[in-house]
Chain A
């Protein structure tokens, strides 16, 4: 099931193309056919084109918004009746996904701004897929890649900055800026590419940490709380690693710098986060070479490099520990729980990677069209409206960057998910104030949860302040460093002839001799099998 099949099929019929557009089409065809005519054709068609689109909008014409998002990363509606979420917030809101989020957006936009918007929604499987699609000329207006990909897009100047009014908290419909968590907002404001903060171009969608899903019966929490478990010979063939260079490189650096990251003076230093960021984003030759050795050890030791199968292997008990993103960790824990198989999630003591998926507008797609940009920003805001945030979080299981602002719906949803039954005996007071109000000691944001939630789903979805104190963003590598690290990754994954030992070569030699002998027998079969008379 992909969200893509929900794409609206409501393009206007061809006959509806206005008469003014016909010369445009014609000249485009001419231009394609005769390169020499390009200039004149363009010069003639340009004013007409603008005129056509402006007059079209004055008549209440549609705005087309092309959105690309991850597969299964938005509520598709069609909930069963009993799925309705009855929250215990101030207004006792009931959350129910009747239509898909995209349909609801189209309706809401028409009701709010009086403009029809036609969303062409498509999906992608990896950041690289999205990037390659864009390179091949597939144009989008609004996309939702991971942080390293939107950093790359910012660096390449391919994004359209968000408008100033998007950040105006006084506008009622600006749900994003009114609701986003201060913690997240701070990260988007302080991380920069070429001197420009992320927040100039990107608005957050989902976020999380990376860590280790483990089986607490076989592995202690202490062991799972260090990156070293991924290369520990004690668990040979029992752990899985991510099949992408960014996450695996981060884990390798975590092992490489373990001593420094855990030293008391490092942990207690005031600028710990900056220091971790510096340490975990190093790309000098020495670091890359050391990481390569560690990754080779990890390759020998691991059950598999996986990009999707790790969740199933964890749930079916094939492996004991699994390097995972927090969102997928929640999914894995949920799935295992159905079979009464209890798993847990740990975030390494050394440091962790805090990751984001964010909405960004593509400059070539928006192409200076103010109406389109308005619709794109409205879409981000609509997705950030607290009730819609809950619908998306319920559907995909990840954690939204939205804390809710004035609304307490999102906190109520966290409590609905993880709050213990009233008669439960073994409970803990779990603070989530750091995310919701900036302070874990805020008494308004404490969830009374069952005690095992301290290292399970609640912990994965809303990590406490002490985890976020060691959670850093993995920076964007420029082209040169990117290639260096990728070459390192290829070296890890390839079969290197130099790794063969003398006895290996002897075996290969023996094999070759046998094959040659077989060929010889075959060629000389007439003489060998002739009957002696």
Chain B
């Protein structure tokens, strides 16, 4: 009699099932809707209409600009913070880190609502600077996602490499640009992916902060609201493609580069 033997492979079954039910199947449905018209026939109309309409292209550009600006601001703000926390040997480092991570424990709608009140106090009227407010709100919301990976990589950075660089005659700037920065690239990359992608789609923040211009997320929503599942699915797919491209550019290229750079020293 053959006894059922438990092997490590079987541990994957729940996850595989989950993946098939909630990732693969929905994606297949989206692809189906994206390439069919109302009567179920194959069509490329949805794809073409996206790229021939100044409004949809404009929305794509607007989302990319919003996401890029948010990502850059996050990076510029987060890097020094993470650097100081990880490198300066503060005794209270972890506690300080906690202070930056703490907001993540509060529901984001609540945080954005609070931010709205603060911005109203500062600006008087929220509607005058919709783009600025969007960047501030998204930066506020996504900052911890940028700090965390940077902090982790910087903390793990081998100090002896830095000492070696100084001993060999590198000034502080050269040490930073030639050793610290290249070695922290993996953290930068994962920080970018964790802020850029949600910033392109998180229209709830836009709505809450009263930016009445659509980004990709709201555009998709607007098509589903009028029961136009075909165009909505196509835009989702295009967004998916954009995200893939961004991941490949940041993920593939830079990580190798970082390794090489670090090794070259």
Contacts and interface: CB of A to CB of B under 8 A. Distances in A.
A248 to B, nearest CB: 11
A131 B55 CA distance: 27
Interface stretch (A171-179, A198-206, A271-279, A493-501): A493-501
Given A128-B225, A493-B218, A496-B54, A302 B171 contact: no
B58 A303 contact: no
Contacts, number: 90
A533 B174 CA distance: 14
A525 interface: yes
Interface in B213-252: 213-214, 218-219, 222-228
Contact of B226 (A302, A305, A483): A483
A494 B126 contact: no
Given A237-B125, A303-B125, A529 B177 contact: yes
B127 A303 contact: yes
A5 B205 CA distance: 28
A249 to B, nearest CB: 13
A497 B52 CA distance: 12
A375 B182 CA distance: 72
B128 A486 contact: no
A131 B224 CA distance: 11
A493 B57 contact: no
A302 B212 CA distance: 9
Q: Binding site of B, secondary structure by majority: helix, strand, loop or mixed?
A: helix
B178 A529 contact: yes
B226 A318 contact: no
Interface in A89-133: 128, 131-132
Contacts of B128: 237
A207 interface: no
A482 interface: yes
A233 B57 CA distance: 29
Interface in B187-232: 207-208, 210, 212-214, 218-219, 222-228
Contact of A299 (B55, B57, B61, B212): B212
A339 to B, nearest CB: 16
B153 interface: no
A243 B207 CA distance: 10
A304 interface: yes
B55 A305 contact: no
Contacts of A525: 177-178
18 contacts: A128-B227, A132-B224, A299-B212, A304-B210, A306-B210, A309-B208, A482-B226, A490-B56, A490-B214, A490-B219, A493-B222, A494-B214, A495-B62, A497-B54, A497-B61, A498-B54, A529-B178, A533-B169
Interface of B: 54-59, 61-62, 120, 125-128, 169-171, 173-174, 177-178, 207-208, 210, 212-214, 218-219, 222-228
Given A128-B227, A498-B58, 5 more contacts: A305-B210, A486-B226, A490-B56, A493-B214, A493-B218
